[in-house]
Amino acid sequence: MKIVMLGAPGAGKGTQARLISEKYGIPQISTGDIFRANIRDNTELGQRAKSYMDQGLLVPDQVTCDLVVDRIRRDDCAGGYILDGFPRTIPQAQALTKALSDHGSRIDYAIDVEVPDDNIVQRMSGRRACPKCGATFHIRYKMPQTEGVCDTCGSELIQREDDHAQTVQKRLDVYHSQTQPLIQYYREQGVLHTVDGTREMNTVFNDICAALEES
C-alpha cells in the first residue's frame, strides 16, 4: 500500500496520514524528516542536500527524489508507506514515478483531501498558539476558557506569522500553481481518490479507508 497524500496546506492531510499510518502499520514519511535525518547522520545524500541548503538554494528535485527513494527502500516500508509533502511539483512526481518504475514499483493510491480556499483561510487564520508551552487553540473551534489566555500555563496567546490570512493565501497561491496539477497527474495514472476534507476528521478518515479497502 504505497500512498501519496495530496491537498492544500491546512487541508488536514498530515493528520490523515498519521491516522492511516497508525491503522495500517505503515510509516508516514515527510521530506523534512528525511532531510534532517540524513544531515544529522552525515550521509552522502545528506551532504549533497546540505550543500544547497547552506547556500539558501532549493534542493534539486533529483536529490530530493533520491533521498525519498533511499528512505522507502528500508525494511519498515516493505508493506507500504505514506508520502506526506512529496512530491510537490510535476517534475518531482515524474522523477518519483521513474525511480519507482526502475525498481519495479509504483504508487498505489493518491489521496486528495479537498478543502476550498475560504475554509482553509478560516481554519488557519483562526489558530492561536502559546509561545511558552506550545498549546494551540482556535477562535471558533477550540476556544480557550479565557479569551487570549492559554488554558495550560496562563501565557498570552499569539497568532503565528504563518497563520495570518495574507500569508495563508500566498501559500495557497503557490499550491495552486505548483502542486495542484498533481491531482490531474495522478488521475491520469488511475490512482487518484478524492475525499471531502471539510467534514469531521473521523468522517474524512473513514472515507479514506473505504477508498483504500475497496480498490
Q: What is the pLDDT of residues 20-50, one digit of tens each?
A: 999 999 999 988 888 888 889 998 888 888 8
pLDDT tens per residue, range 118-130? 999 998 899 999 9
Does residue 115 have a pLDDT over 90?
yes
- Over residues 146-176, the pLDDT tens digits come to 999 999 999 999 998 888 999 999 989 989 9
- The answer, yes or no, to whether residue 86 has pLDDT greater than 70, is yes
List CB contacts of 69: < 8 A, sequence separation 6 or more: 96, 99, 100, 103
**What's the whole-model pTM score?**
0.84
Cis bond before residue 116 (omega within 30° of 0): no
For 25, 41, 53, 56, 187, the CA distances from 64, given in Å and listed in that order, are 25, 16, 12, 15, 23
Separation of alpha carbons 115 and 198, rounded Å: 6
48 an active-site residue?
no
Q: Tell me whether residue 23 is one of the annotated catalytic residues.
A: no
Can you read off the three cell numbers belonging to residue 197? 476534507
- As a whole number, mean pLDDT of residues 78-97 equals 94
List 48, 50, 171, 187, catalytic entry: 171
Candidate list 71, 123, 127, 128, residue with the active-site label:
127
Q: Active site residue: 13, 71, 123, 128, which one?
A: 13
Structural domains of the chain, ranges and CATH numbers in brackets: 2-115+173-214 (3.40.50.300)
| Orientation of helix 31-40 relative to helix 61-72, angle to 10° | 80
Q: Is 160 considered catalytic here?
A: yes
Which of the residues 18, 48, 88, 187 is marked catalytic? Answer: 88
Catalytic-role residue among 160, 170, 187, 199: 160
Measured between its terminal Cα atoms, the distance across the chain in Å is 11
Among residues 73, 96, 79, 70, which one has the least CA distance to residue 4?
96
